[in-house]
Amino acid sequence: MTTPAPTWQMPTEPTGPAPGVRFAGHGARLGAYILDAILVGIVTSVLLMIIMIPLFSSLWGIAITSDGEISGVDTGAMAASVGLLILGGLVISVFGLLYFPFFWTRGGATPGMKVAGIRVVNDRDGSPIGWGTALLRLVGWWVSAAVFYIGFAWILVDSRRRGWHDLIAGTCVIASR
């Protein structure tokens, strides 16, 4: 009696956190991050230029005399410019830190993720994430990047396409369309 030759079967697609839900593709995740990085870069550059204008304008009339003294200094304008520089630096830092967690808690997707058609959800039940989880995921990003970016490369080997930041926060990224 001969046994039939085994036939090749296509591997099954990894199932998502719920029936009918697919994990986000690698390209979509990378593209979304690149779009968000460009957006954050543009906003912080514009804010930095706005902050620097008063500082440079207060320095415009300064001259150093031949005996080494500084003339034409408006100390009030200089102090205000330095204060604005410090305040602006804090605003830019807070914006850069809270950009991703803010959008993750507001519908699960940053503007780049919306364009890519993906969103982040809780890994257990697919529910939206809160501030605690979003901040933990942000800390996980730093951990993922700290070890030669292996935490991000982990997305390529994990069956559910999770990076270390997803594993730390208990999240996963799914396709939203």
pLDDT in tens, 78-129: 788 788 889 989 999 999 999 999 999 999 999 999 999 999 999 988 999 9
Q: Give the integer Cα–Cα distance in Å for 160 and 47.
A: 38
Length of the chain: 177
pLDDT band at 165 (very low <50, low <70, confident <90, very high): very high
Does residue 49 lie within any of the structural domains? yes
Range of the domain at 66: 26-175
b/e sequence 48-80, b meaning 16+ C-beta within 10 Å: eeebeebbeebeeeeeeeeeeeeeeeeeeeeee
Residue 21 is assigned to a structural domain of this protein: no
- Domain assignment of residue 125, yes or no: yes
Is residue 19 domain-resident?
no
* DSSP H helices in the chain: 26-59, 75-105, 111-116, 131-146, 150-153, 164-169
Residue 115 lies in a domain: yes
Average pLDDT along the chain: 88
Please check whether residue 10 lies inside any domain of the structure.
Answer: no
The phi and psi torsions of 171 (rounded to 5 degrees) equal -125, 170
pTM: 0.80
How many domains, the chain? Answer: 1
Asked if the structure places residue 106 within a domain, the reply is yes
Average pLDDT estimate for 128-154 = 96
